[in-house]
Structures are given as C-alpha cells and as structure tokens.
C-alpha cells in the first residue's frame, strides 16, 4: 500500500475558514469519494437483502443506512449496500469499508465484526483527525445491521449488546432498542412490540421494566 506516500503528496482540499487548518485527503479517499462503491442508488428492494440498520453520528449529526445480504450457510457477506447523509470522509470511509467486507467472496460476519475504524483508515491512507468519527459511522451501521440479521434469523443469543442494558434476556432486547422504538413514535408496550417485531411471551418482570422505560423515554423526548 502506498498510503503514506499518498498522504504527503495529497493536495490541500479544504482550508478551514476559522483556524486555517488544512485538510488533506489522500488520493484513495478522493477516489472513493468521487466514485463510491456499493452505493444503493435506488429505493431498496427489501427482498434483495436480509438485514438493514440506520445509525446517526452523535458527533456531527450525520446519518448512515446500510443493507446486507448474507449466505446463510457460510455466513459470508454477499452484498453490503449503503446510503449516507454524511460528509466526504463518511462517503469515502463507508465505500472502502463495504469493499473490505465484500471483496474476495466476502468476509464472514464473525471476521467482519473484527474490522475496526482504524483498519478502514489504514486502507484509506488516513483521514484528518476530526474526521475519524466519520469512519466509525460505517462500523456502527454494520453492527446494527448484523443485530437486525440475528434478530430476523432467530439467533437472539448472538445479538451484540455492548454498553446497553439488557431488559429481555431471552430475546436480548436492550434499553437502546426501547429508546429507538419510542423515537420512532411508539407510545405503548404493544406499539413497541410491533416496532421490534418481537415481544410474544415477554416475562412478567420485563414487562414492567419495559413499560417504565417507555414512560422515561417518552417524557425525555416528547414531554
């Protein structure tokens, strides 16, 4: 990889109006920015995909939506498509990420989950410091998509619950899932169950817990 060389030889693309800091984009970044790979250009045909996940960046407010097709036998990623309301770095980083996960027949979900933002950065030849969170966006969208896949294929035990509190052990539903359902407009337990597409047979104590969370988030965001 000629990443280091690219970094030095890159043109200055954006000069910050307030600080004068120069933003260098490597040729690889530019290449992926101007010709993004694996973009989903039309409305998604859900039958072509097994899972989907949309996340927002708390740093800048940008958003990423991702769709995945998986070979159920090998668990290799056959297709990874995306759309973003994001900056140049987010476009380039996600484009590169989608290439990394699908090249050479596709990675397995297990290995794909080990790809970290720094690996994307390495392949891109670096991003300006302030733009590192943009590559995190791709990684987060993928994690959410994978969770959607696990949920849809009834592999609740494999759901990644990092940093969130599990409120339903059997289905690995977390407080974050409840928060999301409320933000999507759900107001009652039934509506939350409908949004999460699970819920039958939730245990007695988890129901109370979940109802409390619904009230908490409804008050927080709409109160």
Partner 1 sequence: MSKETEIKRRVYLDHAAATPMDLRVKEAMDSYMTDEYGNAGGLYREGRRAKDGIDHARKSLARILSCRPDEVVFTSGGTEGDVLAIIGTARANKDRGSHIVTTTIEHQAVLESCEALEKEGFEVTYVDVEPNGVVDPKKIESALRDDTILVSVMYANNEIGTIQPIRNIAKILKDRKIIFHTDACQASEYLDLDVQKLGVDLLVLNGSKVYGPKGVGAVFVRNGTRVRPILFGGAQEGKRRAGTENVPGIVGLGRALEIADEMKVREGARLSELRDYLISRITKEIKRTILNGDAKERLPNNVNISILDIEGEATLLYLDNYGIACSTGSACTSESLDPSHVILALGKPYEHAHASIRFTLGRGTKKEDLDYLMEYLPGVVTTLRKISPITVEEDAKGMSHPEAFAGENMRVKANSKNYK
**Rounded Cα gap, residues 94 and 68, in angstroms:** 13
Residue 160 touching partner 1 (CB under 8 A): no
Q: How far is the CB of 202 from partner 1 (least distance, A)?
A: 19
For residue 134, indicate whether it is catalytic.
Answer: yes
Q: Which residues contact 73 (CB under 8 A, 6 or more apart)?
A: none
Buried b (16+ CB within 10 A) or exposed e, 162-185: eeeebbbeebbbbbbbbbbbbeee
Residue 172 touching partner 1 (CB under 8 A): no
Residue 22 touching partner 1 (CB under 8 A): no
**Rounded Cα gap, residues 60 and 76, in angstroms:** 32
Comparing CB distances to partner 1, the nearer of 68 and 181 is: 181
Selecting among 39, 40, 54, 60, the annotated active-site residue is 60
The region, left, alpha or beta by phi > 0 then psi within -120 to 50, assigned to residue 38 is left
What is the footprint of ligand FES within residues 113-152 (CB under 6 A)? Answer: 131, 134, 137
- Residue 137 interacting partner from partner 1, ligand FES, none (CB closer than 5 to 8 Å by kind): ligand FES
**Rounded Cα gap, residues 210 and 199, in angstroms:** 11
Q: Do 24 and 13 meet the contact criterion of CB atoms below 8 Å apart? A: yes
Residue 190 touching partner 1 (CB under 8 A): no
- By CB under 8 A, name the binding residues for partner 1: 11, 13-14, 16-19, 21, 33-36, 39, 41-42, 54-56, 58-65, 83-89, 91, 130, 134, 163-164, 175-177, 179-181, 183-184, 221-223
């Amino acid at each position: 990889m000629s990443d280091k060389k690219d970094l030095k030889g890159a043109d200055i693309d954006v000069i910050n109006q307030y600080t004068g800091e120069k933003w260098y984009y490597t040729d690889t970044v530019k290449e992926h920015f101007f010709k993004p790979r694996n973009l989903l250009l039309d409305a998604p045909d859900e039958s072509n995909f097994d899972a989907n996940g949309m996340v927002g960046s708390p740093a800048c407010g940008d958003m990423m939506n991702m769709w995945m097709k998986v070979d159920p036998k090998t668990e290799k990623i056959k297709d990874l498509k995306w759309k973003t309301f994001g900056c140049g770095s987010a476009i380039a980083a996600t484009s590169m990420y989608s290439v990394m996960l699908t090249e050479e027949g596709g990675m397995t979900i297990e290995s794909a989950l080990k790809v970290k933002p720094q690996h994307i950065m390495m392949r891109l030849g670096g991003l300006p410091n302030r733009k590192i969170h943009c590559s995190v966006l791709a990684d987060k969208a993928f994690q959410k998509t994978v969770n959607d896949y696990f949920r849809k294929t009834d592999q609740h035990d494999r759901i990644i619950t990092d940093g969130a509190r599990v409120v339903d052990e059997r289905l690995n539903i977390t407080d974050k899932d409840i928060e999301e359902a409320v933000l999507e407009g759900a107001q009652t337990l039934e509506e939350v169950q409908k949004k999460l597409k699970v819920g039958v047979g939730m245990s007695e104590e988890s129901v109370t817990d979940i109802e409390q969370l619904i009230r908490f988030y409804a008050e927080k965001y709409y109160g």
